[in-house]
Amino acid sequence: MLYWAVTIQYSVPDICDNFSDSIQVGDIHFQSYGKKKSFYGQVETLFCPDDNSLVKKLLNTNGNNKVLVVDASSNAHTSMVGDQIAAAAKKNNWAGIIVNGYIRDIEVIANIDIGVLAKASVPLKTNKDDFGKQGVNLYFNNVIIKPGFWIYVDTNGWVVSKNKLEF
């Protein structure tokens, strides 16, 4: 199986310089927790405050090198992703996970070869009520993120594009 991330041929600052008219720049700096610090892919979205049931279900399906963007409404008292979910995402060919919220098991996630961004860590797990919605438009920190958009991440930040960018 061939993975896209053998060599990354872009940087987010270069994307900003060359595609400024066709991207949105994330204006918050998420913390990077996964082993992979640069990643990109087509977006899948979830809105699920205080319940990571759908996160777990989705990341246990074939990701086709997509990036899952989870809006947890900045829920600060529970974590949306832990080591088992991150490992499942890697196993199932997800390029990365971005959580507008919190994660846990960060010392283990640091050794999983996947991109993981989140606001911070908190040790408490979420409820398990299958609450949330998949494939919805998300809006946080002045960025609109829709299913099918493309997201590009490196240590400088992240950007979103309606279409795949050609370098």
Specify binding-site residues for substrate: 82-85, 104
The secondary element (H helix, E strand) that includes residue 101 is: strand 96-103
- Residues annotated within the binding site for Mg(2+) are 105
Enumerate the H helices of 2-91 as residue ranges. 12-18, 53-59, 83-91
- Residues annotated within the binding site are 82-85, 104-105
β-pairing, 150-154 with 39-47? antiparallel
Angstrom distance (rounded) from CA 100 to CA 124: 16
**77, 71, 165, 61: which is closest to 121 by C-alpha?**
77
Find how far residue 77's CA is from the centre of its chain.
19
